[in-house]
């Protein structure tokens, strides 16, 4: 009989949403895969308000690892190191599930590094097929799905499948007091950027140019971006030509943007560029070629030369 199983690893300092989301994923995946699931909670005290309300009823084992350095849950190195102590010597074919979200993805990476496990990352599904775990990941802004078969003994994934069923906390956690000291957080040095424009990541409005523009075109785009409080971006050829810094490249080998609006000027719309734009983003395209591929995905398309359109647009914007 196969010994595959799911192990949820959850820092209690991350709150109830993280707890219930991770338990929810563990419950659903293990029920569909016909396997057991265990829970490892990480905290600084044997008493936690969250534990009694959590749905541990379908878990086969719940451990609460306690250490003073886990109080704020802000040090992924310490969290991963604590969990790794409980996970040492785990049998084959387990997948660790950590809370979905940016913090969880960082913890997943630390766990994978410390346990020599395979990082499956942000998954949309996890299933047991033909005696192996198969994870699905959404790529290219949701336009494609990757199926990853886990070949290593241990995988680490973030998965959001809804909250846990509140089955009551019938299973009391085994409390394990961890001794020694855990790794200290990395020291971060913050420096102020001299850039006057917002970074591409997290921007709500992105103004982007391609090979169809020249230096004058990018100067106009930069001014438009500044007036709209938008981020300036570019395609790979625009970066290669030195018209926009590589930190602002959008695409498969650049950044992924999930802005509300993406203004694409002089960009043809290749799959490599579109891979960097979320499916949810509204694309406004300006291109002189009515047959340009960008018009197939744009929500609004304008057939025009930037030399006419950009100065006219700038004139309309408050200085």
Ligand X SMILES: Cc1cc2nc3c(=O)[nH]c(=O)nc-3n(C[C@H](O)[C@H](O)[C@H](O)COP(=O)(O)OP(=O)(O)OC[C@H]3O[C@@H](n4cnc5c(N)ncnc54)[C@H](O)[C@@H]3O)c2cc1C
Binding site for ligand X (CB under 6 A): 210-212, 235-238, 249, 251-254, 266-268, 270, 272-273, 276, 286-289, 292, 305-307
Task: Give the nearest distance from C-beta 67 to ligand X in angstroms.
Answer: 42
**Residue in 23, 119, 11 with CA at minimum distance from that of residue 74:** 11
For the CB of residue 63, give the shortest distance to ligand X in the complex, in Å: 43
Q: In the complex, what is the shortest distance from the CB of residue 283 to ligand X, in angstroms, rounded to a whole number?
A: 13
Contact 161, 30 (CB under 8 A): no
Structure tokens that stand for 294 in this block: 């960008």
Closer Cβ to ligand X, 92 or 146, answer by number: 146
Comparing CB distances to ligand X, the nearer of 266 and 301 is 266
Provide the minimum distance between the beta carbon of 245 and ligand X in the complex, in angstroms, as a whole number: 14
The helix (H) or strand (E) run that includes residue 29 is helix 15-33
Query: 């409980």: which residue's tokens?
Result: 86
Q: Which is nearer to ligand X, 133 or 295 (CB)?
A: 295
111 versus 221: smaller Cβ distance to ligand X:
221
Q: Which residue is nearest to ligand X (CB)?
A: 251
Residue 196 vs residues 204, 209, 222, 230: alpha-carbon distances, Å: 16, 18, 10, 10
Residue 55 or 251 having the CB closest to ligand X:
251
Least distance (Å) from ligand X to the CB of residue 158?
Answer: 24
**Of 25 and 275, CB closest to ligand X:** 275
Crossing angle of helices 102-115 and 15-33, in 10° steps, is 60
Distance between alpha carbon 245 and the CA centroid of its chain, in Å? 24
H-state helical runs in 116-240: 215-228, 236-240
Write down the least CB distance from residue 286 to ligand X, Å: 6
Please tell me the distance from the alpha carbon of residue 86 to that of residue 41, in angstroms, as a whole number.
10
């Amino acid at each position: 009989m196969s010994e595959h199983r799911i192990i949820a690893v959850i820092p209690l300092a991350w709150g109830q949403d993280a707890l219930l989301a991770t338990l929810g994923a563990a419950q659903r995946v293990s029920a569909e895969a016909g396997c057991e699931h265990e829970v490892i909670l990480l905290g600084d005290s044997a008493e936690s308000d969250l534990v009694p309300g959590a749905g541990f009823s379908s878990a086969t084992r719940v451990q609460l690892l306690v250490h003073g350095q886990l109080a704020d849950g802000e040090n992924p190195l310490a969290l991963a190191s604590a969990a790794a102590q409980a996970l040492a010597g785990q049998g084959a074919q387990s997948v660790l599930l950590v809370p979905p979200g940016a913090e969880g993805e960082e913890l997943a990476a630390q766990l994978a590094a410390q346990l020599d496990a395979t990082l499956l990352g942000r998954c949309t599904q996890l299933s047991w097929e033909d005696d192996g775990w198969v994870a699905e990941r959404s790529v290219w802004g949701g336009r494609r799905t990757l199926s990853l078969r886990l070949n290593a003994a241990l995988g680490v994934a973030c998965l959001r499948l809804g909250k846990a069923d509140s089955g009551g906390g019938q299973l009391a956690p085994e409390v394990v007091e961890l001794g020694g000291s855990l790794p200290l957080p990395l020291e971060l040095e913050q420096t102020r950027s001299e850039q006057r424009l917002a970074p591409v990541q997290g921007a709500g409005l992105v103004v982007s140019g391609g090979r169809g523009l020249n230096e004058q075109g990018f100067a106009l785009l930069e001014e438009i971006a500044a007036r709209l409080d938008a981020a300036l971006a570019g395609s790979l050829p625009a970066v290669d030509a030195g018209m926009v810094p590589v930190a602002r490249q959008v695409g498969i080998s650049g950044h992924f943007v999930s802005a509300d609006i993406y203004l694409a000027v002089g960009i043809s719309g290749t799959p490599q560029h579109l891979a960097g734009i979320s499916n949810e983003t509204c694309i406004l395209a300006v291109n002189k070629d009515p047959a340009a591929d960008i018009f197939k995905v744009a929500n609004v398309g304008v057939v025009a030369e930037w030399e006419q359109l950009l100065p006219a647009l700038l004139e309309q914007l408050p200085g």
